[in-house]
Amino acid sequence: METNLHTTARRLSTPFVDADLNRLQHSRRAKIRALLLLFLILALFYGLNTALAQQQAAPIDTTHANHKAANNAPLDRSGKARKGTASYYGKKFYKKEMADGTRMNPQSNVAASKTLPIGTQAKVTNLATGASAVVVIKDRGPYVKDRIVDVSPKTADKLGLKENGTAPVEVKPVEVPQSDGSVKPGVGAVQTPGGK
Domain residue ranges in the chain? 1-58, 68-188
CA distance linking residue 9 with residue 137, whole number of Å: 89
Write down the number of H helices and E strands in the chain: 3, 7
Read off the pTM: 0.61
Write out pLDDT tens, residues 86-105. Answer: 999 988 998 899 999 999 99
Mean per-residue pLDDT of the chain = 80
Span 6-39, pLDDT tens digits: 555 455 555 555 555 566 566 777 788 878 888 8
pLDDT tens digits for 40-65? 888 877 777 776 666 554 444 333 33
Q: Which residues, 6+ apart, have CB-to-CB distance to 77 below 8 Å?
A: 117, 176, 177, 178, 179, 184
Please state which of the four CATH numbers 3.40.640.10, 3.20.20.10, 3.40.50.720, 2.40.40.10 is assigned to the domain occupying 68-188.
2.40.40.10
Mean pLDDT in residue range 163-169: 94
Q: Could you tell me the CA-to-CA distances from 94 to 8, 17, 21, 47, 102 in Å, in that order?
A: 83, 69, 64, 31, 11
| pLDDT for residue 61 | 35
The percentage of residues in the chain with a pLDDT greater than 90, rounded to a whole number, is 52
Task: Please list, in sequence order, all residues whose beta carbon lies within 8 angstroms of the beta carbon of residue 149, skipping any fewer than 6 positions away.
Answer: 84, 86, 87, 111, 112, 113, 122, 124, 135, 142, 169, 171
Burial 72-88 (b: 16+ CB within 10 A, else e): eeebbbebeebeebbbb
**Local structure of 132: helix, strand or coil:** strand
Q: What spatial distance separates the first Cα and last Cα of the chain, rounded to whole Å?
A: 123
